[in-house]
Copies of this chain bind each other. A is one copy, B any other.
Amino acid sequence: MRELEDMSRDGIPVTSSAELAGRTGFTSEQIRKDLAYFGAFGTRGVGYDTSALALQIRRILGLERGVKYALVGAGNLGTALARYAQARIHDVVVGAIFDSDPQKVGQVVAELVVQPVDDLAASCRRLGLKVGVIAVPAEAARSVLEALDAGGCQAVLNFAPVKLSRPPMHVQNLDLTLELESITYYTGARLVRPRSGVEA
């Protein structure tokens, strides 16, 4: 979607799955197959209309009407996420920020006043927030998830280093500490050798 929008902005009206492949690192078949799950968006013998396809993907992702999410945790990571998103993305935007620390409540982060976590569920309902982002310590994560559920959130991105799950919600766990710890595996001096072709 990003490449398509870049191309459209640069005045390139049409592209092919092969060109997109070159720009994204996926294969052309992969791109065609993925699109096929949702419909047929190209013209045989020609390719894809960059702006039209970008729009379709926006629609598929549900980004049409700018999504607002509940950001829980106004610590370092939470603040980074709020500012980051505010600066870079236009379609996904922080709708409200929450924190349990009375010191943080009332402060302004990314143009929003930090709310007490106790209001989380109620605020989500009132503002109609369907997406939550958890950026709190591991211990607090589970209860935050429950509050988001109670507030009617359907999708959650969890940055706390615990694997959370709560059907039928969609919970995406993104553990940065894990990421940092596993990357070291790819450091040259291997101390334990895998038995066969690992190395993915």
Contact = CB atoms under 8 A, between A and B. Distances in A.
A184 to B, nearest CB: 5
Nearest to A94: B180
B196 A37 contact: yes
Contact of A79 (B80, B187, B192): B80
A145 B53 CA distance: 31
B36 A195 contact: yes
Contact of A187 (B130, B183, B188, B189): B130
A91 B181 CA distance: 8
B176 A172 contact: no
A155 interface: yes
Interface stretch (A12-20, A63-71, A96-104, A118-126): A63-71
A155 B25 CA distance: 19
A163 interface: yes
A184 B61 CA distance: 6
Nearest to A67: B184
Interface in A78-109: 79-81, 83-85, 88-89, 91-92
Copies in the complex: 2
A133 interface: yes
A186 B154 contact: yes
Interface string A161-200: 1010100001010101101111111111111111110100
Contacts of A75: 80
A62 interface: yes
B63 A181 contact: yes
B39 A195 contact: yes
A172 B165 CA distance: 25
Nearest to A182: B61
A19 B119 CA distance: 36
B38 A195 contact: yes
A62 B131 contact: no
Contacts of A39: 192, 195
